[in-house]
Structure 1
Amino acid sequence: MGSEEQDELPLIFIHRLPQFNLPPIFTSRLQTLFRLIDPASQSHSHSEESLSVVRAQLCLDPAPLHSQTLDLLPSLQCVVATSSGVDHIDLAECHRRRIAVANAGPAFAADVAEYAVALLIDVLRRLSASHRYVCAGLWPLNGDYSLGSKNLTIRDSIHDSIRNFCKIDTNL
């Protein structure tokens, strides 16, 4: 993309902790759509003039967003958080400045529930431990690894939705 075409792209302010590195594939994909201002990046420079025209900010969890950061961006209209929660964002200050705040919301809730059930099964049946046992070469020496034999019973109002969603047998 040429310099003139790049200058036409909207500016996005990346708000993140310095130790939270963006995956290169994520950065390169964003750079095809936006000009990125990333103050946490060592190789990135920006001017006060460029900050004054930023209208959108990408807030990567868990970087706290306070009024001091918002003061740097007088034209800011939208904050997009990559997390499901927004407790790290000063919502009262954003509301006062009429800045819209969006987040991932429940986008990953189903995945989290599925992983939680899978981890529970893994722990109860000791699947990861048995995998390590076999990989360490202990199976020919010590014989079979005893898997757990706990029954998994899911109760309460979420019973049917979890069982149907995860498609698990409740009597493992």
Structure 2
Amino acid sequence: MLRTFAMLAGVTACAAVLAPRLLEGMDKPAVSAARLTDDGDDASNTQSTVTLRASRNNHYFTEAVLNGLSVPFMVDTGASTIALSYEEGRRLGVIRPGDRWDVQMRTANGIARGKRVTLDSVRVGGIVVRNVSATVSEEGALSGNLLGMSFLSQLGRFEIRNGLLVMEQ
């Protein structure tokens, strides 16, 4: 299990190193969100859909609300968890000076360290996922944030087709 986690952390770290390059030429996110409800009063029958349009460089960008604060993201299906920069982790209050870096990640630039955290909630449009695992990178290791599979895998479905990423809860 530790070996699998280390491999997934390595994939996340590689994506983290590449993210700044991918963010060049980023368009403003094109987001469409629809909240559909049936006629019943039961809140569990509520369905939310968010559609993102690919940027010029064929990546998907969005704003998410983490623990009540807005955070910019690049969606990365190759990242095993949400990956946050050190600065974002500090702003969100999920790390503090002196915290122990408990994850080692192999990246294109060498070994990076990170800290595993749990986010109370992650909201994209009308989609809300609670208790989501994330990794905060050590200072200087990541300049952007990646919305990875720890969020995406908890959706009812997500699909990429014809330049659109459709997420549905």
TM-score by length of 2: 0.20
Larger Rg: 1
Structure (1/2) with the larger strand percentage: 2
Greater relative contact order (Cα < 8 A, sep 6+): 2
Structure (1/2) with the larger helix percentage: 1
TM-score by length of 1: 0.20
